[in-house]
Amino acid sequence: MPSPYRALFAAPGSKAFSAAGFLGRMPLSMMGVGVVTMVSQVTGRYGLAGALSATLALSAAAIGPRVSRLVDRHGQRRVLRPATLIALTAAAGLLLAIRFRWPDWVLFVCAAGTGSVPSLGAMVRARWAALYRGTPQLHTAYSFESVVDEVCFIFGPIVSIGLSTAWFPEAGPLLAACFLAAGVFWLTAQRATEPVPHPDERQGGGSALRSVGLRVLVATFVATGSIFGAVDVVTVAFADERGHKGAASLVLALYAAGSCVAAVVFGLLRFGGAPERRWLLGVAAMAVSMIPLLLVGNLPLLAVALFVAGLSIAPTMITTMSLIEEHVPRARLTEGMTWVSTGLAVGVALGSSAAGWAIDAAGARAGYGVPAVSGAVAVVVGFLGYRRLRRPAAGRGGTVEQHSERDVRNLA
């Protein structure tokens, strides 16, 4: 591991909370696809499987920011453990309902309850921010966490689908629930690195969404999430049309691998200037990278195109975290990070639905028009909100890069 990444873990407790966050984040990529695999195997009803997966995603999008707001006010340990117990109970109910063929409404209630799962990525990033706020190391830490995200998305679906198909249908979601329990309880046992809570609601000025800059980021990432959701669905259909449906997981793994490589390299670089410019450039690059997908005619070319497209994801997400630091009050940092994840989740649900409709109407290749249009919408929203991103909230400390520049000037 390059030295800037090794230096991150010189802080006491950083290795432990990072490992716990990785373990607890695996369900993010395992649960949705695991539910689809489980339900389709047991019932043969793909429509029901997709609806349950969408219910889980939308429930997490609705509940997640509220859980994170409570975390900001009362601390990670006091909030994450009860929220996780609710999610685990609902997940257990879902597995039992599938096993014993209970009514469909029970499945939807349990799927909605499973949405109370906390955003472990936001919790870990908040710990890094508490350790390295105002230093260049925070940029490296956010880059490292993007690598962890992509590793989860590369291996999580493969493990979940493989277990559910090779062992028993409930195996994938069951392992995801075990990862969640282990990760959350291990993370919350580490009190020394837990960010200080802000119990006074007025300190944070209410919801993090009161920040205009955060609203711009969330709106843009709804469109960006549509790219991700559509690419997943259309790629599976594209591979299926060519008689190699099983290869879809490998092709999508290359999409995540491209982002992973970019995250590693991006974390080694140091940038000057305004982060909102890099953010807008990243959004535009993600949009442009969707155009070649409309032109590919076979799986090898698609794999190359998706790997290249993945190179713009992690740098954009890393810069987004810096912008959240700039625009969201410190007492609402965890909530602010979770709102961006919420925007992505809503976008994934919208993109998946739109892509399915496009595939049914015109075929898989035409379905890549959905992520292309979504990318264009993201660019438009980003351009319209760009001026808002140039006006940080009063009282904010500035981004990592701005701190670094100010420190250099002071030393001079």
Any idea which of 4-8, 107-111, 299-303, 304-308 has the lowest mean pLDDT? 4-8
Do residues 101 and 167 make contact, with C-beta atoms less than 8 angstroms apart? Answer: no
82: number of Cβ within 10 Å: 12
Rg of the chain in Å (alpha carbons): 21
Instruction: List, in order, residues 6 or more apart from 244 with CB less than 8 Å away.
Output: 299
- Give the span between the Cα atoms of 151 and 256, in whole angstroms: 8
pLDDT in tens, 114-158: 888 888 888 888 898 888 877 878 878 888 887 888 788 777 777
Round the average pLDDT of the chain to a whole number and report it.
Answer: 81
Indicate the SS3 state at residue 85. Answer: helix
- Residue 327 C-alpha from the chain's centroid: 20
Annotate 341-396 with DSSP letters as a single string: HHHHHHHHHHHHHHHHHHHHHH-HHHHTHHHHHHHHHHHHHHHHHHHHHTSPPTT-
- Give the span between the Cα atoms of 109 and 197, in whole angstroms: 32
pLDDT of residue 44: 74
pLDDT of residue 93: 94
pLDDT in tens, 195-229: 888 776 544 456 666 777 788 888 998 999 889 87
What is the share, in percent, of the chain residues with pLDDT greater than 90? 19
Instruction: List, in order, residues 6 or more apart from 187 with CB less than 8 Å away.
Output: 17, 20, 21, 24, 76, 80, 120, 123, 124
Given a cut of 70, whether residue 393 has pLDDT beyond it is no
The residue type at 219: A
pLDDT of residue 305: 93
Do residues 258 and 310 make contact, with C-beta atoms less than 8 angstroms apart? Answer: yes
What is each CA distance from 335 to 70, 116, 152, 223, 295, in whole angstroms?
8, 14, 22, 20, 40
Residue spans of alpha helices (H) in 192-312: 212-241, 248-268, 275-288, 299-310
pLDDT in tens, 325-384: 777 777 777 777 778 878 887 887 788 778 878 877 788 788 899 899 999 999 999 888
114: number of Cβ within 10 Å: 30
pLDDT of residue 245: 67
Give the domain 15-196 fold: Growth Hormone; Chain: A; (1.20.1250)
What is each CA distance from 360 to 74, 238, 284, 366, in whole angstroms?
48, 12, 29, 10
pLDDT in tens, 29-69: 788 777 877 887 787 776 677 678 778 878 887 888 888 88
pLDDT in tens, 339-350: 887 888 788 778
Q: Encoding tokens for residue 61?
A: 């999008």
Give the domain 206-394 fold: Growth Hormone; Chain: A; (1.20.1250)
Instruction: List, in order, residues 6 or more apart from 265 with CB less than 8 Å away.
Output: none
Task: List where CATH 1.20.1250.20 sits in the chain.
Answer: 15-196, 206-394
Write down the pTM of the prediction. Answer: 0.73
Task: Tally the C-alpha atoms within 13 A of residue 278's C-alpha that lie toward its C-beta.
Answer: 22
Neighbour-count burial of 274, counting CB atoms closer than 10 A to its CB (0-12 exposed, 13-18 middle, 19+ buried): middle
